[in-house]
Amino acid sequence: MPEVIVQSTDGVTLAGGSAFSARLLAEARELAPRVVAADGGADRLLAHGVEPEAVMGDLDSISDGARLRLADRVHHIAEQVTTDFDKALRSIAAPFVVAVGFAGQRLDHGLAVLTSLLAHPEKRCLVMSATDVVFLCPPRLELALTPGSRFSLYPLGEVRCRSEGLRWPTAGLDFSPWGRVGTSNEVAAPRVRLEVDQARMLVILPRRAAGAVARAFQGG
């Protein structure tokens, strides 16, 4: 079992080393008030005037200054098989994690983050960017959303998904990365319900929907 470094009854904001705005960080902290960093994410937080309560990773990106300043809360996870995002995610026990600084700058890093979501289906994690929020759909999910807003599904493997409240229903459809994907659907009702038969479906929504997702994760 991975060591739990941060345990919380509230959501946890996890910062990565890619650039993110002060506004995005503030939105994440409203949803998940406790703040931790993955490796070089500590420098990003300090630049915004925020000190993380823990820094986790292989520590090959954090600056010497940040490492010295946060010396009493740095946790070295030495293995090189997984990414710092993966190391941090598996070390957090919380109702959900809001991740910032992990999407948008490098495609390879972004793909690795999505792969980690697939590798840890028991974790509830929202990855926020300047425009979107993406997460791995749990077996059942109900969201309160604004009709007319964008709702995209993207499979990371073969999966079936039954939906209620979308403009184009998905019941009975087979999804896969090499076949049918579900991008550019649309919310058609105030509540959207999803059921998936495998933990392989990404949900991609506008950034403003992060609060609805966090509330659903907190409740279930």
Provide the residue-wise pLDDT of the chain in tens; the chain has 220 residues: 568 999 999 999 999 999 999 999 999 999 999 999 999 999 999 999 999 999 999 999 999 999 999 999 999 998 878 999 999 999 999 999 999 999 866 788 888 899 999 999 999 999 999 999 999 999 999 999 999 999 999 999 999 999 999 999 999 899 999 999 999 999 999 999 999 999 999 999 999 999 999 999 987 5
Answer for the pair 123, 93: CB distance below 8 angstroms, yes or no: no
pLDDT at 165: 97
Residue type (1 letter), 88 = A
pLDDT on residue 32? 97
Which residue type sits at 192?
V
Enumerate residues 6+ apart whose C-beta is below 8 A from 118.
136, 156, 157, 199, 200
Rounded Cα gap, residues 28 and 20, in angstroms:
11
- Sign of the alpha-carbon dihedral angle for 98, 121, 103, 203: negative
Q: What confidence score (pLDDT) does residue 103 get?
A: 81
Q: How far apart are CA 102 and CA 198, in angstroms?
A: 25
Residues 95 and 217: beta-carbon distance below 8 Å: yes
At the topology level, CATH places domain 140-219 in Jelly Rolls (2.60.120)
What is the pTM (predicted TM-score) of this model? 0.95
What's the confidence (pLDDT) of residue 2? 66
Among 54, 50, 23, 49, residue whose Cα is nearest residue 37? 54
Bridge-based pairing state of the strands 12-15 and 132-136 = unpaired
Name residue 94's amino acid.
A
Contact 12, 32 (CB under 8 A): yes
The predicted structure's pLDDT at residue 1: 55
CB 199 within 8 A of CB 114: no
Pairing verdict, β 201-206 and 150-155: antiparallel
pLDDT score at 104: 66
Q: Which numeric CATH code is attached to 6-130?
A: 3.40.50.10240
Domain ranges in the chain? 6-130, 140-219
